[in-house]
A and B are shown apart, each in its own frame.
Chain A
Amino acid sequence: MTPLAKLLEAALFAAARPISLEALAALDPEASPAAVSAAVDELREHYDVDGHGVELVEQGGGWQILTRAEFAEAIERAQVAVRPQKLSAAALETLAIVAYRQPIGRAEIEEIRGVAVGSVLKSLHERGLIDIVGRSEGIGRPLLYGTTPQFLEQFALRHLEELPRADELAIALRGAGNATVVPE
């Protein structure tokens, strides 16, 4: 491995969080962006080709070293590490709405879901998946919520744009709706 690839490996190991290319470039002021990007590729290939227990993954706005999926069960069984708890269906619904409509207030989420979401918002906030991003201009200046980098990381998303666009979803929906037409 080149010295730059080794430096990146050390930094990614130390950080434990996704690190953006720009942040990686700051490690060596003399390295060009192209060289940093090449070094990331080199490190990723090194993990893939030489057969390592970890891999380099792009998600949450940067690069992160993760264990390979095949070892998850053994790791968990031995209680070496704990997986994050699965989110409830109600929490996922709320999260999906926040991801698409952010910044969004509680009342709008409740309008879409048809149920009260106060406690769900609280628990999503405690898990660091959403954050308060501002206040609306409306009556009572309600809090507005948005997703966090932690959200991208936990759902293996590189960035928010990786979610399908709303109009793409709508088309899929029409198709499904027509398929179930039954004459009265």
Chain B
Amino acid sequence: MIAPNFRTAEAAGPSFVVELSQFTGPLDLLLSLIRDEQVDIYDIPIARIAEQFLARIGSLGLDEAADYLEMAARLLRIKAQMLLPRADGEEAWEDPRAELVRRLLEYQQMREVVDLLERRGEERRHQFARRFVPVSVDITPINAPLALSLGDLLGAVDRVLRTSKEPTLHEVIPRALDVAGAMTSIRSVIAMRRHCRWSDLIAADAEPWQILSVLLALLEMAKLGELHIAQHQPFATVEIRRDAVSEAA
């Protein structure tokens, strides 16, 4: 039976020393044990390694770190599974160590990349790039984006408006657009002429709401496939053509 060197909380020194220790995690510690013991990663003597793992986390004061304890529990479970009797020649037996081996291999693969990054990073640290020096970071930048809520903004507007003695107020009259009416008149124009121009559809004294109605009506009719809108170059006159397909239909 394994007798891990569990220390009581009172006897323990620093409670969390994982980052400061020589290992970056339980897999790192496990790999180091496997290397020290010179065992095959594909055939880990799990009882021996589990015992050593517990001993090491005890002596390193890592036995309070959840990550290490979780790995210790995992090792003990695998050890128990290995002890279960299995029928001779049983084909379906799955090595309880398989998942651990997969993780160890994946981890070791990543460590190779770490070695490479460490090498490249160290070489690069011997070279300096020119530093772009921002114009003084100590003073409060004047053109920084304003941190304002909508409430702050409305409050500020209110204060400004109150300073003016007689605020000029405009009354905005909502005027409904007449898209349907504009569509009817466009239909009657293109029924007579195969094509026309944007200027033909708008009266000389048209008000903005009428122009907008015609625009929306044109877009709607183009969407419905009743007509084609074309402009051959920027700022040229927009030409409106009855759609050949809808005509045929």
Contact = CB atoms under 8 A, between A and B. Distances in A.
Interface of A: 13, 15-17, 57, 59, 64-69, 72, 75, 81, 83-84, 86-90, 92-93, 95-97, 99-100, 112-116, 153-157, 163-164, 166, 169-170, 172-173, 177, 180-182, 184
Given A92-B114, A99-B113, A173-B112, A72 B26 contact: no
A155 B19 contact: no
B40 A181 contact: yes
A13 B130 CA distance: 7
A114 B19 CA distance: 13
6 contacts: A59-B124, A88-B19, A99-B113, A100-B110, A112-B106, A170-B105
A113 B106 CA distance: 9
Contact of B127 (A57, A87, A114): A57
Nearest to B19: A90
Contact of B109 (A15, A83, A166): A166
Given A93-B110, A173-B108, A16 B130 contact: yes
B159 interface: no
B235 interface: no
Given A93-B110, A116-B67, A153-B129, 17 more contacts: A16-B132, A66-B128, A67-B128, A69-B123, A72-B125, A72-B128, A81-B131, A84-B125, A86-B122, A86-B125, A96-B110, A96-B114, A112-B107, A113-B27, A153-B124, A155-B124, A156-B123
A180 B40 contact: yes
A113 B126 contact: no
Interface in B169-192: none
Given A114-B103, A155-B117, A72 B127 contact: yes
B45 interface: yes
Residue among B107, B121, B132 having the largest count of chain A Cβ atoms under 10 Å? B121
Contacts of A65: 129-130
A173 B24 CA distance: 20
A70 to B, nearest CB: 8
Given A113-B25, A155-B124, A173-B108, A180 B38 contact: yes
Contacts, number: 129
B209 interface: no
Nearest to B121: A155
B39 interface: yes
B7 interface: no
A108 to B, nearest CB: 11
B26 A114 contact: yes
A154 B124 contact: yes
B116 interface: yes
A89 B120 CA distance: 14
Contacts of A172: 112
A116 B111 CA distance: 17
Contact of A69 (B25, B109, B127): B127
Given A172-B112, A173-B105, A92 B117 contact: yes
